[in-house]
Amino acid sequence: MTLFDQAIVILQLLLAAFLATLIGWDREHRGQPAGLRTHILVAVGSCLFTALSTHAFQGDTGRVAAQVVVGIGFLGAGTIIQRKGQTNHLTTAASIWATAAVGMTVGVGAWLLALGATLIIWAVLVIIRRFSKSEAKEATAPSAEKLDNLQKP
């Protein structure tokens, strides 16, 4: 890779980090297991792997992309928790997966597409969250802390 190509990849990494910040901030703000730093690292790592594959492995770029997807699936699976028959943190796992796709998109140089995808992901996490079933249940169900306070004399 030329120095110019490497400088472009550094700009791509910075953009991937910025876009991941928009996604990861929501997860951090809501106290989810994979927050801001995780999302940034996922986007930067997937962007770097993708950029390397397009520059260094030009004959077989699909192999690297496939491995990134598999690796991110493993990471996302680690965030999913089952408690009392309920599955938790699926949205966080999906946001990690989507953030990796944003990083890969930046890595191939499709900056506008990555920005559009980030805005859609952010809208799902922040705006559509207000209309989801789980959010409605969460808003109406009393928290364990509230129940503990009610039981204290």
pLDDT digit string, tens, across residues 43-101: 888 888 888 888 777 777 777 778 887 887 777 777 777 677 666 777 778 888 888 88
pTM of the predicted structure, to 2 decimals: 0.68
Q: CA–CA separation, 40 vs 17, rounded Å?
A: 5
Q: Which of 143, 128, 62, 137 is nearest to 94 (CA)?
A: 128
